[in-house]
Amino acid sequence: MVDLSVGDGRVRFTLLGRDRIYAVKRKVNVPVGHIAGVRRAGDRVSRPRGLRLAGTALPGVIYAGSFWAPGGWSFWDVRVRHAGNVIVVDLKDDFYRQLVVEVADPAAAVAAIEGAMVR
């Protein structure tokens, strides 16, 4: 799970607990201008496409870390059983093309990011 904070023109995704170990990363910072869109993933989460180069992948359990596919890099921090708490952040002009992360309150997270995009 990640803790999301918005400020200074950036959205910060800070990984919590063991997720830092699973994903081999502590945080992801994204300028608000690089966010193309944000949405809830829904009740089901597909698995990441491509090659996992740093992180953990236990099919049907957890996907955490950086994944590369021909379309570019994506970052995941998702426990499959918590699919209802997952948001998807589409990016442009950034290292990652997409962030797929589990948050405590997906509706509030989407609203916070959309609010930052409007400013």
pLDDT in tens, the chain (119 residues): 999 999 999 999 999 999 999 999 999 999 999 999 999 998 888 889 899 999 999 999 999 999 999 999 999 999 999 999 999 999 999 999 999 999 999 999 999 999 999 87
How many structural domains compose the chain? Answer: 1
Q: Is 74 exposed, middle or buried (0-12, 13-18, 19+ CB in 10 A)?
A: buried
What pLDDT does residue 7 have? 93
Short-list 48, 40, 42, CA closest to 87: 40
What pLDDT does residue 42 have? 84
What pLDDT does residue 41 have? 92
Domain range for 75: 2-118
What pLDDT does residue 45 have? 85
What pLDDT does residue 67 have? 97
